[in-house]
């Protein structure tokens, strides 16, 4: 049976799982782990892909990524190929390092985002690499230590995750840690590894118990989400990427997008990047954030840096920009 094609689109959320061939180790020591993370960080910055959660286990690894300017598949191909060359050279081995293709599960953000962050970051504890939640807080090879402020990985988007737990960093860290602790006893979560609505409901046995056998539901091992989400992604993924690449071909980068948003609001382009709260400037900035995020696939972390505002503020702007564009009939591409 031919392999199912990867599903992706700008702004899509992915749970990525990589495994060593025949369950062999892909990380033998901390030098290997640091080399892998160095490569990952460089590629995340180069592609505009956001990383929210990650964990390295000796024979496998998990990541929660959001597509940016480049498909996730491109990042993973470069990452795994480059690391395999390094690993084989260091240990004087040859042949395949990773088991088949990595697993990529495209996820519905609500209600899975925080559940996935927790599940991924608890992996080292479940695997017995550390013995306690307290030890996990400073464990170097899980993104949990970054969210707890114990380690620094500039490429990890900690602000977006912590924004769900509060506006002040220390308070957010506290409530995030409580959330993590509540998941310690959950163990392995088969419901978080894809399969559309069928897996999300707990499998066919759960559906049978709830007398739902007669309901037609879309299922796909590449997707974690309800039936409507699965259906919409399968039909929209190709269209979204085609549009993103068409925009790129026409020269639509951040500057050209800002110019278009400013033009619609009768402003100068520089006003987009000001911190003014004047109505028209806020409107133009919101359109810019919406188009840059949803149309160009620019990460919200990158937009926050460019606009010198917080990641949550970018999120609000994206939502506001979407409402404005729909109400006014504004489009990035001129008719």
Q: Domain holding 169: CATH number?
A: 3.30.70.1290
Distance CA 11, CA 120 (A): 20
Question: 220: alpha, beta or left, given left = phi > 0 and alpha = psi -120 to 50?
Answer: beta
Question: In this structure, are 131 and 275 located in the same domain?
Answer: no
184-198, pLDDT tens digit by residue? 877 566 556 644 433
pLDDT reported for residue 199: 39
Question: Which among 175, 192, 209 is the end of a domain?
Answer: 192
Note whether 82 and 175 are same-domain residues.
yes
Residues 264, 188, single domain; the answer is no
Note whether 185 and 272 are same-domain residues. Answer: no
| Domain presence at residue 247 | no
Nearest to 152 by CA among 299, 65, 50, 41: 41
Longest dimension (CA), the chain: 63
Task: Kindly list the distances between the CA atom of residue 213 and the CA atoms of 122, 203, 232, in Å, as whole numbers in the listed order.
Answer: 34, 11, 22
Please report whether residue 23 resides in a domain: yes
Whether residue 221 is contained in a domain is answered as no
Cα 55 from Cα 60, distance rounded (Å): 9
pLDDT tens digits, one per residue of 44-90 = 998 889 999 999 999 999 999 998 878 888 899 899 999 999 999 99
Does one domain contain both 58 and 181? yes
Query: For residue 325, what are the CA distances in angstroms to 261, 286, 319?
Result: 10, 9, 10
E strands, 145-265, are 223-224
* pTM over the 0.75 mark: no
Q: How far apart, in Å, are the Cα atoms of 302 and each of 38, 55, 67, 112?
A: 19, 23, 13, 23
- Report DSSP state, residue 17: E
d(Cα 269, Cα 255) in Å, to the nearest integer?
A: 8
Give the CATH number for residue 314.
Answer: 1.10.1750.10
Is residue 319 in some structural domain? Answer: yes
In a domain, 135, yes or no: yes
Name the domain boundary from 165, 192, 219: 192
> Which of residues 192, 220, 245 is at a domain's end?
192
Long-range CB contact pairs, 320-329, < 8 A, 24+: 320/282, 320/286, 320/290, 321/286, 321/287, 321/288, 321/289, 321/290, 321/291, 322/290, 322/294, 324/283, 324/286, 324/287, 324/290, 325/287, 325/290, 325/291, 328/264
Does 305 lie in the same domain as 170?
no
Q: Which pLDDT belongs to residue 216? A: 34
- Total tally of structural domains belonging to the chain: 2
Print the domain residue range for 63. Answer: 13-192
170 lies in the same domain as 269: no
What is the Cα–Cα distance from 9 to 11, expressed in whole angstroms?
6
The residue among 37, 15, 45, 62 whose CA lies nearest residue 305 is: 45
Are residues 163 and 262 both part of a single domain? Answer: no
Q: Is residue 201 part of a domain?
A: no
Residues 279 and 182 in one domain: no
In a domain, 175, yes or no: yes
182 and 318 within one domain: no
User: Does residue 230 lie in a domain region?
Assistant: no
Low-confidence ranges of the chain (pLDDT < 50): 1-3, 194-220
Q: Could you tell me if 67 and 188 lie in one domain?
A: yes
The first and second tokens of residue 47, run together, are: 């592609």
Q: Are 151 and 261 in the same domain?
A: no
């Amino acid at each position: 049976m031919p392999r199912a094609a990867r599903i992706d689109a700008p702004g899509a959320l992915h749970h990525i799982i990589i495994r060593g061939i025949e369950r062999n180790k892909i990380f033998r020591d901390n030098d290997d782990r640091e080399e892998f993370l160095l490569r990952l960080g460089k590629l995340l910055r180069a592609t505009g892909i956001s990383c929210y959660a990650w964990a390295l286990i000796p024979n496998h690894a998990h990541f929660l990524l959001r597509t940016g300017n480049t498909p996730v598949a491109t990042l993973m191909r470069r990452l795994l190929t480059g690391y395999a060359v390094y690993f084989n050279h260091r240990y004087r081995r040859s042949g395949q390092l990773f088991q088949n293709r990595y697993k990529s599960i495209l996820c519905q953000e609500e209600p899975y985002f925080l559940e996935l962050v927790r599940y991924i970051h608890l992996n080292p504890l479940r695997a017995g690499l550390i013995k306690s939640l307290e030890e996990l807080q400073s464990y170097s090879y899980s993104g949990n230590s970054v969210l707890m402020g114990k380690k620094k990985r500039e490429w990890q988007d900690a602000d977006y995750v912590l924004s769900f737990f509060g506006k002040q960093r220390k308070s957010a860290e506290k409530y995030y840690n409580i959330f993590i602790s509540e998941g310690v006893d959950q163990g392995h979560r088969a419901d978080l590894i894809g399969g559309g609505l069928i897996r999300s409901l707990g499998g066919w046995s759960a559906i049978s118990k709830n007398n739902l056998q007669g309901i037609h539901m879309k299922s796909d091992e590449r997707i974690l989400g309800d039936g409507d989400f699965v259906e919409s992604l399968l039909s929209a993924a190709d269209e979204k990427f085609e549009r993103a690449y068409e925009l790129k071909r026409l020269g639509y980068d951040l500057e050209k997008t800002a110019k278009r948003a400013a033009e619609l609001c009768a402003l100068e382009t520089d006003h987009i990047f000001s911190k003014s709260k004047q109505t028209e400037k806020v409107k133009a900035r919101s359109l810019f954030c919406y188009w840059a995020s949803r149309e160009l696939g620019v990460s919200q972390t990158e937009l926050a840096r460019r606009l010198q505002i917080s990641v949550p503020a970018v999120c609000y702007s994206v939502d506001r920009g979407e409402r404005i564009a729909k109400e006014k009939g504004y489009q990035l591409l001129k008719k």
